[in-house]
Amino acid sequence: MKRLTTLLAALMMTIVMVGCSQPYTITFTDGREITVPDKPRLHRRSDMYTYTDMYGHKVEVNKDEIATIERAPKGP
């Protein structure tokens, strides 16, 4: 019974975490736009943004290359 309770708790946490992610649109200074599943994080020491692309790869970009980061509009 304890094992089942632990499994159900883990499943619920996973569902909540997936439901909380919101896509963001990154606009680069050269005009390109990409949509990423979660908000990029700025690392102040290196002045680099880190994000995970749609394929699950981690990407780092210099903050000077990014014009805007905005929440992506919700679909229909």
**Domain 23-76, CATH:** 2.30.30.100
0.95 exceeded by pTM: no
| pLDDT value of position 11 | 65
The residue among 17 and 73 whose pLDDT is bigger is: 73
Ranges of each domain in the chain: 23-76
| pLDDT value of position 12 | 67
**Considering Cα of 34, then 58, then 66, then 18, what sign does the dihedral take?**
positive
Residue with tokens 């304890």: 2
64, 47 Cβ separation under 8 angstroms: yes
Residue with tokens 């909380």: 20
pLDDT tens track for 6-23: 766 666 666 655 556 799
**Considering Cα of 32, then 67, then 45, then 55, what sign does the dihedral take?**
negative
How far apart (Å, rounded) are the C-alpha atoms in residues 45 and 31? 26
